[in-house]
């Protein structure tokens, strides 16, 4: 055999192996934290030998992409930050049912009754406030109070983000269209809009606003680091099952388009299993582990201490929320 032939043969075998690995691997569409998704993927590959490719985007972007691609999607799995994007995909029938033993990993309150996807993590809504600008006795009793005239120009939020839109989805489910629309009018009048939750938190910390409505992991993540964007802030949790005490569920589901559904089900079982949830607990996302009996990061207040409303995550309507927010002029 000539050297040229051997080189060509080796190249052919390498390419064939690469294609085979790709065919036997998984593609994950995710809007979850990049580092967390990568940790899950690396640990899963180390355990099973199944390679995982990750494509990152926002909740709505990824959900719309899956809907447009339909059964031709190259994705096997969809992971989100917030559940409304999962509902968008479920409503058009693009999920396979989650394996019963995987569903059993996650408590019922953190997954839809349909069983077409499941909760993989959670985050809590909270108000952070600047202690140099507002006292504890001035804090709003309800998130809805932030639409009152006395809060004009005093609080910030990131209404264009999927995180905030999930909070509005909870308000819509709990209080209906009219009350949600009225609150959004108050939001437009009162809140200073920021590009993201972290920017809103930092705005409160430097005194641009007195308070910001955000998810928990921005504050606790900053506190675990330098704390320079939260060192003047305290946390206020709404009580009495207020919409502002909403717990948002991050979802995971196996797509009908998957070329490797068995491996995709394995991946989802891994993420919600004890190993995957321990990765979540011990990482730096500061989201809540919610499955397989794994306790959350000890830096986080227990979910049981938060008087959150009970909401089936599959009922959260992203499309109506976008319509209402657009009509109110906040996005």
Instruction: Output the tens digit of pLDDT for each of the chain's 331 residues.
Output: 443 333 333 333 223 323 333 457 999 999 999 999 999 999 999 999 999 999 999 999 999 999 999 999 999 999 999 999 999 999 999 999 999 999 999 999 999 999 999 999 999 999 999 999 999 999 999 999 999 999 999 999 999 998 999 999 999 999 999 999 999 999 999 999 999 999 999 999 999 999 999 999 999 999 999 999 999 999 999 999 999 999 999 999 999 999 999 999 999 999 999 999 999 999 999 999 999 999 999 999 999 999 999 999 988 888 899 999 999 999 9
How, if at all, do strands 211-215 and 118-130 pair?
antiparallel
DSSP 210-257: SEEEEEHHHHHHHHHTT-TTTTTEEEE---TT-GGG-EEEEEEEEETT
CB 57 within 8 A of CB 68: no
How many helices (H) and strands (E) the chain has is answered by: 11, 10
The residue assigned the tokens 């580092």 is 35
At 168-214, the pLDDT tens digits run 999 999 999 999 999 999 999 999 999 999 999 999 999 999 999 99
* Residue 49 backbone class (left: φ over 0; alpha: ψ -120 to 50; beta: rest): left
Give pLDDT, residue 212: 98
Give pLDDT, residue 94: 98
Cα(163)–Cα(155) distance, rounded to whole angstroms?
Answer: 17
Give pLDDT, residue 45: 98
Give pLDDT, residue 5: 36
pTM as predicted = 0.89
Give pLDDT, residue 126: 98
Give pLDDT, residue 3: 38
Cα(30)–Cα(95) distance, rounded to whole angstroms?
Answer: 15
Give pLDDT, residue 129: 98
CB 128 within 8 A of CB 233: yes
Cα(135)–Cα(127) distance, rounded to whole angstroms?
Answer: 13
Using CA atoms, how far residue 161 sits from 87, 140, 166, 193, 195, in Å, is 17, 23, 9, 11, 8
Q: What is the CA 86 to chain-centroid distance, rounded? A: 10
Cα(51)–Cα(68) distance, rounded to whole angstroms?
Answer: 25
Contacts of 222 by beta carbon, 8 Å cutoff, 6+ apart: 198, 201, 228, 229, 230
Give pLDDT, residue 319: 86
Give pLDDT, residue 23: 59
Structure tokens at 225: 């680091």
């Amino acid at each position: 055999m000539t050297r040229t032939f051997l080189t060509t043969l080796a190249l052919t075998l390498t390419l064939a192996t690469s294609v085979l690995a790709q065919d036997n691997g998984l593609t994950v569409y995710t809007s979850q934290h990049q580092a967390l998704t990568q940790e899950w993927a690396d640990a899963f590959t180390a355990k099973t030998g199944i390679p995982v490719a990750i494509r990152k985007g926002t909740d709505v972007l990824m959900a719309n992409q899956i809907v447009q691609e339909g059964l031709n999607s190259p994705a096997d799995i969809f992971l989100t930050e917030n559940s409304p994007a999962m509902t968008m995909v479920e409503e058009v029938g693009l999920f396979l049912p989650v394996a019963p033993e995987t569903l059993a990993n996650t408590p019922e309150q953190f997954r839809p009754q349909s069983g077409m996807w499941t909760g993989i993590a959670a985050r809590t809504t909270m108000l952070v406030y600047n202690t140099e600008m507002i006292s504890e006795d001035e804090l709003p009793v309800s998130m809805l109070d932030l639409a009152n005239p006395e809060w004009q120009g005093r609080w910030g939020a990131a209404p264009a983000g999927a995180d905030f839109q999930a909070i509005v989805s909870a308000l819509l489910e709990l209080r209906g269209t009219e009350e949600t629309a009225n609150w959004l009018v108050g939001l437009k009048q009162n809140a200073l809009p920021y590009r993201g939750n972290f920017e809103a938190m930092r705005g409160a910390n430097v005194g641009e606003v007195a308070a910001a409505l955000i998810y928990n992991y921005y504050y606790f993540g900053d506190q675990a680091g330098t704390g320079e964007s939260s060192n003047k802030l305290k946390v206020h949790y709404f009580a009495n099952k207020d919409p502002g005490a909403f717990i948002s569920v991050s979802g995971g589901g196996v797509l009908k388009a998957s070329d490797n559904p068995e491996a995709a089900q394995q991946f989802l079982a891994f993420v919600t299993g004890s190993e995957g949830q321990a990765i979540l607990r011990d990482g730096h996302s500061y989201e809540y582990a919610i499955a397989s009996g794994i306790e959350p990061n000890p830096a986080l207040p227990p979910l049981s201490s938060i008087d959150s409303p009970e909401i089936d995550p599959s009922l959260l309507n992203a499309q109506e929320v976008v319509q209402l927010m657009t009509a109110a002029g906040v996005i």
